[in-house]
Structures are given as structure tokens and as C-alpha cells.
Amino acid sequence: QVRVVESGGGLVQPGGSMTLSCAASGFGLDYRSIGWFRQAPGKEREGISCIDSSSGNTDYALSVTGRFTASVHIANNSAYLQMSNLEPEDTAVYYCAASRPRLGGRCVRDSDDMIYWGEGTQVTVSS
């Protein structure tokens, strides 16, 4: 059974840090793009980060560049999103998703490229 489970969300103060985890089962994360998406209340879902598990290539939305870092640990079949210097505007439900198997190269963070999705984890940045 294919599953993607995010964890690590919660409440954090502005300026704080948090690491989200994404555990996959029923399929391997190798040879895929792993994307991180978020959806804030009243806003559309946006792709904020991706990492290609073969090449290690990463890409970030401008809103998180320099503050968020994506990584993947194939042996654990897990991916991670390290978030620092968090702002109230980062408050959202965060989702992890995986693409179809693809040749190594540039990662993708478009929803249409993802086939497996987690149910999301809430991140709230507030004092």
C-alpha cells in the first residue's frame, strides 16, 4: 500500500526553526522528485521546494529561498524540509509529494508532476 506521511509540524515562534519529515512506504523515493507544497487559509496551494533524489538538485520558491532546505535519505525512504527564520506568513498546511520515476536532473515542484501525496501537517508560526 502506497503511503506518504508528513510529520514534525506544530506551533513555533517567529524566527524559530522546524524540520518536517516525509516518510514513504509502498514505493521508493529513489529516481523521483520529492516536492514540498503548502496551502495557507484562503490561498492556493504552492510548490515551495523540490529535490531530485538522483541528482540532488534542489529548487525553491523565492518566498523560502535561503530559509528552507530540502533533503532526502534514500536508505530511510524519507525526505526532509528544514525551515529556519520562520515568519507568520509561513503558516500553512505543508504537504510532501513524489513524482513518477524519472531520469536524474532538475527537480520539479509542479503539482501536476506529483502522483503520491501525503495528507499534510499544520505549521503555525505565531508568538
Establish how many alpha carbons lie within 13 A of residue 83's alpha carbon, considering only the half-sphere containing its beta carbon. 31
Residues 6+ apart with CB under 8 A from 44: none
pLDDT along the chain (127 residues), means of 10: 97 98 97 97 96 95 98 97 98 98 88 96 97
Question: What confidence score (pLDDT) does residue 42 get?
Answer: 94
Residues 6+ apart with CB under 8 A from 110: 35, 47
Q: Could you tell me the end-to-end alpha-carbon distance of the chain, in angstroms, rounded to an integer?
A: 40
Question: What confidence score (pLDDT) does residue 105 get?
Answer: 85
